[in-house]
Every structure is written in C-alpha cells, then in structure tokens.
Amino acid sequence: MEERLFWVGLGMGFYAALVRISLKRESWKTRLWAGVWHSMFWAGTGFALVMIITMSLDSRGNIPMQSISALNHRSLLYGCVAAAAGAVWGFFRIYAQGAELEERETMLSNDLEWADTFFSAVLLASFLMYFVLQAFKIPSGSMRATLLEGDHLFVNKFIYGIRIPMTSTRLARWKKVERGDVVVFRFPTDDTEEVHCGNKQYGKDFIKRAIGLPGDKVEVKNGVVFVNDKPLLHEAYTQTVDAQRQPSSPVRLDPDRYQNLWQDHQLDQTLGDATRDFFGPVKLPADEYFVMGDNRDRSCDSRFWGPVADRFLKGKAWFIYWPPDRIKGVE
C-alpha cells in the first residue's frame, strides 16, 4: 500500500512543479494551455482517487492481501477511465469559466495549492506506513483464535529494522524475530506466476506466527510441531478443528530432495496437502523463518510453500484497535 501511495503522491508533486513553471511563462497562460494544465490536474485527481479507493478495498480484502506495490489490470483500467473523465471535465471547465486571464490564473493557482497539499500529505502518510506503522484488517480464519475475522490491527514496521527501499538492507534493528512473534510479510516469491494454495501469491501480504528461526530443525508428526527435536506442547494460542489427522504422503523423497523442494517453494507441487500433519524434517537456512497459522488445520503456511526470507518481512503485529471489545495487544 505504502509504495503505491508514494507514487501517487510523487505524481502530484511532479504536476505541481510543472504548474509553477507554467505560471511564470506568459505564453503558457493562454486559454489552450490553461485548459491543458487544468485537465492534467483533474486527470491526476481522478486517477489518484481510484488508486486510493482500490488501496482501501485491497486492505479490506482476504488475507493474503494484494500488495499495493503491484497494480492489477482492473484498478489500472479504472484509474485510466477516471483520468480521462477528469481531463475532459478540466478542459471543459477552463473554456466554460476561464475566459479571462485572471480567472485562469486563479484556477491554476488553486490547482497548485491542492497539488502541494496532496503531495505533502501523501508523502508523509507513505513514509509513516513504510517505516513506522501500518494498519491491516483480518478477514480470514487462519490465525484464529488470536486474530479473528474483522479485527483491525496495527503493525510495527521498525521493530525488525528500517528497510531501505528497493533493497533488502535493514538499519537500526531493534530486535530480531523471536519464536512466537506474529509477523506480517510479503509472500516469499519473486515469481509472478507461482501458484500456491490454489492462487497466484506474488505481491500478497500474509500474517502468521514465527515458529522456526534460522538454523532450527522443524518437523510435524501427526499434527504435533517439533523444533530441534522437542515438541511444542504448550502453544496456548493454537487450535485444531479437525477430529482426525491427515495421513502422510505415499510419495517418498530422500531428505536432500525434500529440503531442496521446500526451500525452492515447490514442495506442495509434489506432495500437495499431505504436509499439513506430517511434514519434514527440514533445516532453516540463514535469515529464513518457518511460519504457521494459529488455526493449524485451516492455514496455508510454511508447511506447504516454504520458508520466509528476512527480506520479505514487513513487521510485527502490535495491537488490535477495532472493534472496541477486541482492543488488546497481539501475543
């Protein structure tokens, strides 16, 4: 979300810079040029409104959520339609109400003021969302009963370090991921066509609990999770809803091939859903984590699609702020 918001704000800032140039040149204050600049403002406004609306809808969609950094074709089409309608309206408005130079200058000055305000507000918001705090909504049941459908929560985005945009480098790391942390991350793939759990997952945001840390050995036997050969028997936050455990896969893989398929996010392509209750063992590579949903029987997680590299982490779930009767910290 923060990345798309940043580019929308940057577009308005670019427009504001161009309007400042036009206001200094008498030749650009003709009715035609005023119409062009005014239509550009309304085109940008229409496109920005559609992007903000789609961001709002995306953030309230099903988790995993579509990342706002990736424009889908439908929202881009709607944005272009809104931009075209805004451009026509802006050009018509200049010719209908801007016969005098003073009127045209007033309109362009107002456009500039609004563009500056939008630019500053959006850049500040995107900065806060990228580096400090971001809001998410939970519509699925994969984290029950810790997080329920409809919960709105804030995610602390600086606790694991401030990530430099367009890189995997983190600065000022307050703490490392600890076992039991509820983390938000972008789905760990760079392949736009990769399919897991029935859908393409590239660019989507997930929320799960960190179970295995770098260097850990993780295994699941008959639904019981083992970390470094020790069972996790006191996970008060977990729940199972199926009375019987799924059988293990009849396909037998040697340990090295099993590990490689899992690290390459291809294990579910070979074994399907059979890894839910009988999984591993695998060893976590450096800077990678094993995550699971608290609702173990209804969670698509690292048992199926592999580890989460540190570069995909966005932050730690902090506290639920809505609905009022659910306000509390996330543990």
Task: Please state the domain extents for the chain.
Answer: 2-131, 134-329
Q: Which of 56-60, 145-149, 201-205, 317-321 is the least confident region?
A: 56-60
pLDDT at position 229: 96
Active-site position among 75, 126, 142, 302: 142
Taking residues 266-293, what's their average pLDDT?
94
CATH of domain 134-329: 2.10.109.10
> Which of 122-126, 175-179, 316-320, 321-325 comes out lowest in average pLDDT?
122-126
Q: How much is the pTM?
A: 0.73
Catalytic residue among 208, 283, 314, 316: 208
Say which residues have a Cβ less than 8 Å from residue 253's Cβ, sequence separation at least 6: 261, 270, 271
Q: How far is 219 from 14, CA to CA, in rounded Å? A: 53
The span from the CA of 113 to the CA of 118, in Å, is 9
Question: Is the omega angle on the peptide bond into residue 145 within 30 degrees of 0, that is, cis?
Answer: yes
126 is catalytic: no
Q: Which residue has the tokens 């543990």?
A: 331
- In the chain, % of residues over pLDDT 90: 38
Is residue 82 pLDDT above 70, yes or no?
yes
Is 120 a known active-site residue? no
Contact 315, 184 (CB under 8 A): yes
Distance CA(286)–CA(271), nearest Å, equals 25
Is the per-residue pLDDT at 329 higher than 70?
yes
SS3 208: strand
- pLDDT tens digits for 215-246? 999 999 999 999 999 999 888 899 989 989 99
